Structure 1
Amino acid sequence: MAKKGRGSNFYVHGLRSGWTEFRYGNGDKQQKRPPKRLFNHNKRKQIVSQLIEVLDDFRQTRFEHEATCRHGLRSALCLEGHSWAAADNEAALLVSEALKSIGAIRPRWEEGQRYYADGTSNCNWCHGPIEAGSGRFCSRECARSMLESMAGRDKRDRDVAWRAAWMLINRTNKPKVTCEACGSMFHPHYASAGRFCSSACYDAVNTIKPRTCTVCGDSFKPKYSNGVCCSRVCAAVAAQRARKARKERLAVETRVCDECGTDFTPQSQNSRYCGDQCSARARSRAYRNRKKALSDSTIVCLPVPDPRPLTPAIFDGMLEAA
């Protein structure tokens, strides 16, 4: 027998009419499946290797031939009979894999703004010449003018120039300190970072010797003692190589499952079980053991200490209660 009233399946929320759900939906968004790839793994690997040769031959930036490669792949796939959407998705994925392989890091939004590209050779407000290492503004007045002009903008529009202006005003409010290298007086950026007035003074005192980059082979002077790469691009390439080497090492490694004792190939360095079932059984057994240990009557449970201070009145009351 069908239920009525609040138990009826016709009404989503009890006695409501259901108009809101009918008009706007119930809020449960269906997860769309990712589109099916048009090539298998070997074919994709072959295409990516060819794209790497084209993308790596650049003059200005690694993204110089991105649009051309994506357009060419999309056109070829459309001529083979694939839909435009499927061809464009496959071309975008292949080009992104190739860019990732050559260590291309896409610029952030703020790096495309004109204040970011202006650099630090001229003031970002009055465009007058400034000394190297002085920041982006020649004076406190120019920095304040920049802040006032950006006061009504959204946080997204407050790019590197806004932060540089705010840091200059904040720095000038701090007392001057003496540079440990040249002895000149300067305003520190932070209260705990007032040792050197510029990067040149820091490099003069820095005792770290130049070393060779593990990726490109160029000589550079690292900022920290554990630095092995000369730039972020080389660091990204080194991290990708390390992940690939770790996967290759785990692919030939064989471990014994702690639960069932069968041999399996680990997916990560901390893998202890061959599958989800063994992992769930181990967690369930550990939970039961902890619960059993807490219910053991032989374990003495100490009382929770009273956070109140022990006063003479409380001590007399404890003696009377005893």
Structure 2
Amino acid sequence: MDADQLRTFDRVVREGSFTKAAAALNVTQGTVSMRIAALEQRLGGPLFSRGRRIELTERGQGFLPYARRALAQMMEGIEAARVADRGERGLLCLATLRSHAETVVGQALGRFLKRFPGVEVKVREGHHHDTIEMLHDRAVDIAITGWPNLDPLLDDPAPALILREDLVVVAAPALVGERRRFTAAEIGALGEVAIVQRWWQVMPDAIDMLVPRDRPAYDLPMQLALPLVREGRAAANFPRHSIAAELEAGRLVALDVSDMPPIRRDSALVALKPETWSTPIAANFARELAAAARELGLGVKATGSIRLMEAA
């Protein structure tokens, strides 16, 4: 068996489909079938039950953790060889939630690189599942994810920091005039459309109250939602730190929703293993992230995986 076979097996398990696995790996479906067939022949029987749904057989379930462990060790070895060959002084590989990239991570990186200018940096961004997948695949060493982690791809990631942020419902001043207090139903009726911002792995019931059932709803990332809100076409919720400049400049105003409790979101800086936080690069970046988050008004809690210089 080879790495391509193991990687294909893992991808089929994740996608639940040979077709989707082929698309993700950028190969043909025939190639996926051929690799799985060769692997099954080597292991002495089927790994998947073929039918309307692709499911692991008992043999496949038993083999999965070993296949993923082998892939992880291979990726670690490749990265170690790459770094050693280039003589790098250090490498920070980070995946982050998109909503944290420009603010918390941007400030933390600026501080970190002033202290450690010889460290090479690689940052990727995405939704929660994207950051979890990059961490699982060893494409990054540490990641900022939603917390607690509900994604089955990682059973028990090791957190260094838990970050807590307030979310605020905002609108353009022209849309609401002098009024600042509304009910959730009134918020949902503002503007032309309703905007859904999926900051959570599971949408809180309170936020769901803001989305009416009788008008179009746009499920948009922050970069697309914010211009619509500025234009007065809708009200929407955002992490307070991400729109602090908009509020200060008066381009947006914060609204008080009378029948909705305060809404917060937790995220975490995590690694696959607790020992990651004993390495100088990871530990020092965690310290800078904690400092930047506090300056932006986020709550910061250090876990048992790392000891920060500042008190949490």
Q: Same fold (TM over 0.5)?
A: no
Q: Which has the higher contact order (CA 8 A, sep 6+)?
A: 2
Give the structure-2-normalised TM-score: 0.24
Give the structure-1-normalised TM-score: 0.23
Structure holding more strand per residue: 2
